[in-house]
């Protein structure tokens, strides 16, 4: 027996009474409008903390007669996983009409920090409450996030984090752990030899994190395996194919390939073309048509996955919390690292 939520929730009126100010002043503080002395603002904040005031997001949206506007800035191009994410946004956009959520999806040129920065700079707080981005860790992007944040547009990073930026929250898997898991599996698959590592771009934080985790476990637990690379495919199938082909040709002792980026269609093509491929253990990321085909054919042994629908769902939860305004840390459910073999394809 565990009764919860019996007491009436505190409202702005309660805050006003507790702080000994008028409703108008509470409202000014809440929506940080000008015309409040710092002393008074502090009184109000203290009262809010004291009585545990929690602003009612839906009443707020109802009152201002508009939806919560979330803009997704995702890379376009050949990256199938980004396509899945976009699909998840669109699916979600259908059903979110009833929840006062207005989603907009923009696809940008991939691996183009300046383009992303420009897109971010174009988001005015009047049009967009929260931007959800996946981008690389470059000074131009970091600066644009900083500017958006100052302007009043909350930024949430998706898939690839920008840890030392003004972003409010990160939604994605624990990438170092994913790299470690890959290494742990690879080590069990093949006791010795060389393991080629292909990344998309080392400017992407998720790729760097996976690489670090992979390298650490390989070095610590599997001294028989030697890491080759990392090579950069720029997440392009053609480049991934070329790199994998070269790895297979140049290294007779190649025991495994870990593609921690995208471009898996190219990887699968390279493996299909080589007769040595069956002897090489392959681990890749993200369940997409290409990796499914790879698992089916036996070209790929394991796929580590992050569920796009989960990520979009949690990103929206984060956006809602950001819109609540307070500086309280955003909390979301962690995204799980899915492990798929040929037998448990969903």
Partner DNA sequence: CAATTTGTGAGGTACGTTCCTCATGACCAA
Partner DNA sequence: TTGGTCATGAGGAACGTACCTCACAAATTG
Among residues 53 and 214, whose Cβ is nearest to DNA? Answer: 53
* DSSP-assigned beta bridge partners for residue 197: 258
Interaction between residue 11 and DNA (CB under 7 A): yes
Residues between 35 and 94 that touch DNA (CB under 7 A): 35-37, 39-41, 53-56, 59-60, 62-65
Instruction: Tell me how far, at minimum, the Cβ of 86 lies from a second copy, in Å.
Output: 8
Q: Which stretch binds a second copy (CB under 8 A): 195-203, 274-282, 284-292, 337-345?
A: 337-345
Q: Which stretch binds a second copy (CB under 8 A): 102-110, 147-155, 197-205, 257-265?
A: 102-110
Q: Given candidates 6, 35, 64, 329, which one binds a second copy under the rule CB under 8 A?
A: 6
Instruction: Tell me how far, at minimum, the Cβ of 67 lies from DNA, in Å.
Output: 10
Cβ-in-10-Å burial (0-12, 13-18, 19+) of 38 comes to exposed
Distance CA 25, CA 23 (A): 5
Interaction between residue 220 and a second copy (CB under 8 A): no
Interaction between residue 102 and a second copy (CB under 8 A): yes
Please tell me the count of residues contacting DNA according to CB under 7 A: 32
Decide which of a second copy, DNA, none touches 329; Cβ closer than 5 to 8 Å per partner kind.
Answer: none
Among residues 234 and 342, whose Cβ is nearest to a second copy? Answer: 342
Q: What DSSP string describes 158-200?
A: ESS--TTSS-SEEES--HHHHHHHHHHHHHHH-SSEEEEEEES
Among residues 164 and 331, whose Cβ is nearest to a second copy? Answer: 331
Helix (H, G, I), strand (E, B) or coil at 131: strand
Q: Which stretch binds a second copy (CB under 8 A): 28-36, 52-60, 228-236, 273-281?
A: 52-60
Distance CA 186, CA 118 (A): 41
Interaction between residue 288 and a second copy (CB under 8 A): no
Interaction between residue 32 and DNA (CB under 7 A): no
Among residues 4 and 39, whose Cβ is nearest to a second copy? Answer: 4
Phi-psi group of 43: left, alpha or beta (phi > 0 → left; psi -120 to 50 → alpha; rest → beta) = alpha
Q: Which stretch binds a second copy (CB under 8 A): 39-47, 104-112, 203-211, 222-230?
A: 104-112
Distance CA 18, CA 222 (A): 62
Helix (H, G, I), strand (E, B) or coil at 94: helix
Residue 131 near residue 155, CB atoms below 8 Å: yes
Q: Which stretch binds a second copy (CB under 8 A): 33-41, 53-61, 133-141, 192-200?
A: 53-61
* DSSP-assigned beta bridge partners for residue 256: 195, 281
Q: Which residues contact 267 (CB under 8 A, 6 or more apart)?
A: 198, 237, 240, 241, 244, 257, 259, 282, 284, 290, 294, 299, 300
Interacting residues toward DNA by CB under 7 A: 8-9, 11-13, 20-25, 27-28, 30-31, 34-37, 39-41, 53-56, 59-60, 62-65
């Amino acid at each position: 027996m565990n009764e919860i939520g019996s007491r009436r929730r505190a409202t702005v009126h309660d805050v006003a009474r507790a702080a000994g100010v008028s409703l108008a002043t509470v409202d000014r503080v809440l929506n940080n409008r000008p015309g409040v002395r710092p002393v008074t603002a502090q009184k109000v904040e203290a009262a809010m903390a004291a009585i545990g005031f929690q602003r009612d997001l839906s009443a707020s949206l109802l009152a201002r007669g508009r939806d919560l506007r979330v803009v997704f800035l995702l890379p376009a191009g050949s990256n199938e996983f980004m396509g899945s994410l976009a699909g998840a946004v669109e699916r979600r956009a259908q059903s979110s009409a009833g929840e006062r959520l207005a989603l907009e999806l923009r696809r940008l040129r991939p691996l183009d920090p300046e383009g992303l920065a420009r897109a971010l700079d174009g988001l005015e707080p009047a049009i967009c409450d929260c931007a959800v981005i996946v981008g690389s860790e470059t000074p131009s992007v970091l600066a644009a996030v900083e500017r958006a944040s100052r302007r009043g547009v909350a930024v949430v990073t998706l898939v690839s984090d920008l840890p030392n930026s003004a972003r409010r929250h990160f939604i994605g898997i624990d990438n170092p752990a994913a790299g470690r898991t890959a290494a742990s599996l690879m080590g069990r698959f093949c006791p010795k030899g060389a393991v080629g590592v292909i990344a998309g771009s080392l400017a992407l934080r998720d790729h760097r994190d996976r690489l670090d985790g992979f390298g650490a476990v390989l070095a610590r637990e599997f001294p028989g395996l030697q890491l080759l690379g990392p090579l950069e495919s720029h997440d392009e199938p053609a480049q991934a194919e070329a790199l994998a082909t070269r790895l297979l040709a140049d290294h007779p002792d190649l025991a495994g390939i870990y593609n921690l980026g995208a471009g898996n269609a190219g990887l699968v093509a390279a493996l299909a073309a080589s007769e040595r491929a069956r002897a090489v253990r392959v681990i890749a990321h993200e369940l997409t048509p290409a990796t499914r085909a790879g698992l089916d054919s036996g070209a790929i042994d394991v796929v580590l996955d992050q569920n796009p629908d989960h990520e979009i769902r949690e990103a929206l939860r984060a956006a809602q919390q950001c819109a609540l305004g307070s500086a309280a840390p955003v909390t979301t459910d962690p995204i799980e690292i899915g492990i798929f073999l040929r037998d448990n394809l969903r």
